[in-house]
Amino acid sequence: MSSIQRDNATETQELFNALAEPTRRGIIELLATKGQLSATDICDNFDVSRPAISQHLKVLRKANFVRVEKRAQRRIYQINRGAMSELEDWVQKMTKRYDARYDALDKILEAEKKKLAKGGEKK
């Protein structure tokens, strides 16, 4: 595995790790729905402590899932569209791989059906 592939794999793994926790997925869904929000606005939407939300936001920032902009005393969060595109690309790549495997299996099954049909005609 090349260092570029390893870096991409590590980045993708960080994205999935960030999404593994329901509150972080909720934060992403909230930002996707409402756009830019302050940390306070995000906290107001969850029944967890402010320090817990802060830690979730830290994980999301580290995974490059959200971007933060400091405006005066407020931190404004928004989704990093690049991370969303990276996840979408990964899902599409996996879908193509499985589609190719299912297509190959379909061909094998069709060939086996034809063999069985020919065998039945000989009787």
**Where residue 74 sits, what CATH number does that domain have?**
1.10.10.10
pLDDT in tens, the chain (123 residues): 444 444 567 777 888 889 999 999 999 999 999 999 999 999 999 999 999 999 999 999 999 999 999 988 899 999 999 888 888 888 888 888 888 888 888 889 988 888 888 876 655
Asked whether residue 15 is domain-assigned, the answer is yes
| Predicted TM-score (pTM) of this structure | 0.70
Asked whether residue 92 is domain-assigned, the answer is no
Asked whether residue 33 is domain-assigned, the answer is yes
Q: Which helix (H) or strand (E) holds 25?
A: helix 22-34
**Residues of the domain holding 50:** 3-80
Q: Which helix (H) or strand (E) holds 37?
A: strand 37-38
- Cα gap 109→112, rounded to integer Å: 5
Whether residue 62 contacts residue 14, with contact meaning beta carbons closer than 8 Å, is answered with yes
Asked whether residue 47 is domain-assigned, the answer is yes
How many CB atoms within 10 Å of residue 112?
A: 10
- The CB-side HSE value for 63 (13 A sphere, CA atoms) comes to 27
Structural domains counted in the chain: 1
